[in-house]
Structure formats: structure tokens, C-alpha cells
Structure 1
């Protein structure tokens, strides 16, 4: 059983996961939000470099080398001096890769053998575009093996409080089923054991557990449950530690990052 530990820096709390204990990492709380990743990386690994993206709810996963090249060229996929994308995969040791979230799922993946890491921003839109499998494929292309991967999903909005349309649930659910008709997707998902979809009092709505969908995507890739850890904390229901866009309608975030070996 994987455990989650509270750590502190300057009396500010952040979470770590035993599954990633060999890698400097953290799921940071709301108290850190005004500190950018370049200030947070030294908390984890003082000598590491720092990389992040302009998150756009897509499925683009880039390496630091690719980010640097895009910044040098500029273009439509660069905004506010940041390259657009939702996942960063290390390509060298001592690289801190970061994502921000405020209800979406932060996913940190490490390869126990190669030392590669990935940080992923997986909201419902990115999950519908299978950003986690895209990131896994980038790791495999760089020499990883499925059996060596370790995946930790940090605090995110819980399924029981995340109301979405049935159309949204079907779009996300289509990534884990062979069904194509939206109502059949929703019906089939609701019949699953440990379903990622829960009923809602409003007829055209359901409750969606995005982390559970990502876990099923991982299982469909052959990643065992012992390789996956999911934090029990809900951003919406834990205001003392986390921002929630659904709760506050404010654009504040918490950072999550991991450093390659």
C-alpha cells in the first residue's frame, strides 16, 4: 500500500508519495502559489534546472530540449514567454519538471530504472485526449519499460463533487471503452465496478472521477495497480490546503513537480 506524507518547508505543507520516494518531488499546497517553479525546485533539489509550460488543456508533452528550441524560434505555440503544452518529460538528469492545477489532476511519473520523469496536467479535456498515455509513449520511446514506471496522481477534485454534462462524461469515457455512442458509454461506465461515473440528481448531469479514468487508461496500458498511487485529498473539499476553481472561481493554482535522476 502506497502512503502519502506531509512535509514542510518554512512551515508550509506539501505532499509526497512513497511510490516516488527515490525521486525528489512534491505536490505543493495553496500556501506556495505565489512562488513560481523556479523558486520551488531548490526545495526539492538545489542543483536542478526548472521547466514548465503554458497549460492549455491539451495532450502535448515536451522535453526541456524541445521547449528551449521552441522558445528560440517563437511562433504561435509560444505565449507569455512560455511554450504551450500540458506535460514535461525530462531528457537529462537533474531536471525539475512542473505543472499547475486547481481541480485538474497533477500526475507525476518516474522510471525507476532510467531515472526519467514526467509531470502532467490532466483535466477532463486532457484526459479525453489521453495525455497520460501520450506521456507514457514518450517515455517508452526514450527507453522506458512499462514495468519500471511509477505513477502518482495528486490532489484533484473528487468524483462525488465534480458535476459534468453526460456529453463530457461520454467524451472522457470513450478513452477506456470500445463503445462510440455517448449514452451507451455513460450507461456502460455506470455499470462498472468502481465506476468513474456517479449519478447526479439533475437528469442530464453526472459526477465524473477523472483520476479513476486515468487509472483505467494506465491499466489498459498494462500498468499494474501496485505501480499507481492516487492521493485521497479533494481540492474542492479541502480548502485549508488547496485552491479549487469550482469552489472559488479564482485563477489560483498549486504546483506539482518532480526531479529526474
Structure 2
């Protein structure tokens, strides 16, 4: 099966893609293009999937050990091993392919077409609240990007309709900034629906970056996307990871 690669119009001609689960070698609950080596999927099969992505992107994949932080790695030479613990990468080196893994969290790809700098960030609620998006922008600027030239695209992520949270979750955001109440809607039984994507767009735009969302919800489309929350609701043992990639 052919790989399905979603692209963002905002990112223009730079080589990039938000890969769906289609076209992969994994089977069972991981069926499709599971690129998560941290999953319990067969490591050889995950390697096949990642090789297919590398071939589509035209180069070896650079990634980090994601930990829901605001830490950013600048790729300016060979990647250290083991992978550094961080949640974003930036580079100004031609030919580098930066990647992020997600399964409901926001995969965010960045490009400054005027100055030749790219970035990729993993932004779940913890990372977004902790400033990973702004940290990625700052790291790009350190590599020569201009804030008003940076464009960012949020790929397939969990939508507000599928993201039910409790009062403690709301309190965490309100303690940081009471204005974030606007990203919560009333849900059932005293719970709330959180707009992670709207919050991500707000943080990006507040940082002076032009940003958009591709419009895809991971939870509501099991044929195309893995979803941690959907897997949890289905009481499945594990879940696959989607990959997003960008190459300068």
C-alpha cells in the first residue's frame, strides 16, 4: 500500500509531511505505518516503516527521546546516541530530516523560507503549557530565522470534541493564565472539553508566528491515525505512533 502523506499549504515548497498510518508493514493493533520504536511492536517491522519514511523524505531521520518537555535540540552535526531527551529539533543544515512522533499530541512543523531554517516540535498539553512551541521558535531564531518569517503547521491531533478532561486539568491551566478558560467547553457530568489545537495556535500566534492546523483529528479517524486516547478507551494493550517530518 502506498504511503499517505498529508501536507500543509502554509509550508509551501519545503519537503515535509504528516504521515498517516497507511502504507506500513505493522499488523494487529499497530496495523500500518507505526514509527514508534518505543512501542511493543516488532522492532524489525518498525525499522521497515521508518525506512519507508526516510526514503519518502530523501534522507536519514533525526529524532529525540520525547518526554513532554520544552527542551529543543539543535541539529548541527551527527546526532548523539542515545537520543537526547527533548521534544523539539531545529536546524539550518541542508539535507537534515527532522521528525516528531505523536498519537494525539500536536506534531508541529516549522519553516522560515527566507532564511533557511526548519523545526519540528511535539506539543501535548504539558509541552504546550511549558513553552515548547516558543522555545522552538527561539531556537530557530538562534540559527538565523526571523520571527515574522516563520510559518508553523499543526498536523493531525486530538480535537476538542474528543478531548475530555477533569477539573484539576482546568485548574492547572487557569493557574498559569486565567485567559485559557476560553479553550475549555462544558462537557458531561461536570467535565470539560479542551481545545488543544486552538491553544497551540494561540501560543504560536502570540509568539509572532503564522500558523495553521491541517484539520485532521486523530481520535475520530482510526483508519488513518493512531490515538492514545482511543486505544485507552478500547482497552487495547498499546498503540502506534504517527510520524511527522520536514527536510531542509
- Structure whose residues are more often strand by fraction: 1
Partner secondary structure for residue 143 of structure 1: coil
CA contact under 8 A between 1:56 and 1:86: conserved in structure 2?
yes
State the match for 2:55 in structure 1: 42
Distance 1:37 1:91 in 2: 23
Alignment of 1:15-26 (within 5 A): 15-26=6-17
Query: Structure 2-normalised TM-score?
Result: 0.82
Q: 1:242 aligns with which of 225, 230, 238?
A: 225
State the match for 1:208 in structure 2: 194
* Structure 1 residue ranges without an equivalent (≥5): 1-9, 72-80, 178-184
CA contact under 8 A between 2:7 and 2:17: conserved in structure 1?
yes
Q: How far does the alpha carbon of each residue in 1:174-199 deviate from its partner, in whole angstroms, 9 at most, with x for none?
A: 55x3xxxxxxx2xx544xxxx32111
> Could you tell me how far 1:56 is from its partner in structure 2?
0.8
State the match for 2:111 in structure 1: 110
How many pairs does the alignment contain? 221
> Could you tell me how far 1:38 is from its partner in structure 2?
4.8
Query: Structure 1-normalised TM-score?
Result: 0.78
State the match for 1:180 in structure 2: none
Partner secondary structure for residue 100 of structure 2: strand
> Could you tell me how far 1:173 is from its partner in structure 2?
5.4
Q: Quick check: 1:199 aligned with 2:210?
A: no
> Could you tell me how far 1:245 is from its partner in structure 2?
0.8
From the superposition, tell whether residues 67 and 196 of structure 1 become closer, same or farther in structure 2 (CA, over 3 Å).
Answer: farther
Distance 1:202 1:122 in 2: 28
State the match for 1:60 in structure 2: 71
Partner secondary structure for residue 6 of structure 2: strand
Q: How far does the alpha carbon of each residue in 1:99-147 deviate from its partner, in whole angstroms, 9 at most, with x for none?
A: 0000000000001112211111101111111100010111112221121
* Structure 2 residue ranges without an equivalent (≥5): 23-32, 35-45, 233-237
Alignment of 1:87-236 (within 5 A): 87-172=88-173, 177=177, 185=178, 188-190=179-181, 195-203=182-190, 205-223=191-209, 227-236=210-219
